[in-house]
Amino acid sequence: MIPTALTVLLAALGVTGSPVEPRAADGLNTRAVAAGKQYFGSATDNPELSDTAYLAGLSNTADFGQITPGNSMKWDTIEPSRGTFSYTKGDVIADLAAKNGQLLRCHTLVWYNQLPSWVTNGGFDNSTLISILQNHITNEVTHYKGKCLHWDVVNEALNEDGTYRTNVFYTTIGPAYIPIAFAAAAAADPSAKLYYNDYNIEAAGSKSTAAQNIVKLVKAYGAKIDGVGMQAHLIVGSTGSESVSAWTANMNAFTALGVDVAITELDIRTTTPATAAAVTQQAKDYATVIGGCKAVTRCVGVTIWDYTDKYSWIPSTFSGQGAALPWDENLVKKTEVYNAILNAWGTGRHSTGTTPTATATATATKTTTTAAPATSSAASGTVPKWGQCGGNGWTGPTQCEAGSTCTKANDYYSQCL
């Protein structure tokens, strides 16, 4: 090997051996990887990619080692009319990930929402809709073959009580549409990891149990399923699982079935404008979620649902709610929240700039726990401050702890303030 100028200089100084590799910059992804995870990532969408300051932040691989397309791989974009496929928008994000050296989570193949009317109103019989489903999945997964670390194959197939959600696939095909979808995806790209993805399965309960039963269903059909995505669209002070041990216990119920878990769409919303106390609680909540994933070996990574409030979906869906992400609407890092996430991953990078040893990293990858969920005040019938206390479909407690009042934000959400 021809010596470089650096090795010649080192030799002249009496230093032998290979030069030390430059250390990676510290950041959320750097820390996650040091803790034994595959990535810390962010969702994105095509419109915001024209924002150069936003794009620079998204492309910072110290913070984001993976990106997920929020909308550009959904059915209405990919196959707007039967047999006509459009990959332009999805390709933009796939190409960006490749350019940046980031992993790609592909989202999502089968969802009851954002379906074109030709699917929902086509009046297809069982065999025809199965063929349509298989054809859509085969075409899309084949197009992105070798590019997707994960595929969210089926998204949000469950109601809050754990029953199957009524949609065109369930009504026409029955629950078998789920393993049929997984089998088609596995055939099109055997190397991609295949996930079932849903919200409100972060805590033990009927919906979490039903999601575990979906894993069993797919396996019973002989189809491949590799993981379960916990979306984790959460509320400040009421994260579903209020302690690290509760998060890990619920995750372990899934991993015991032989699958990985991932936190796939994390954000933690609050009433806006956010108070200083809410931000402090939000920082603690983010740390709890990260701590849960860190403690479970088969929790492979965390994705926030875009990294900045500027492009968050929440304000348009939950009136008076938002401020859910680690960067604000001006793309300014929220130091308290950011540092809480950073430090929850552990000291992968110290203030001196040192990196963890191989032994420390290996130890981190083997850490797991089976601790039982902690009992929260909400479980006993009283909602802690910042917790949800009402809203359409809310079946939990409505009495706030002393010093806070159940305050209506909108028809869907009331919070103890």
Residues belonging to the active site: 265
A 10 A CB-CB count for 277 gives 14
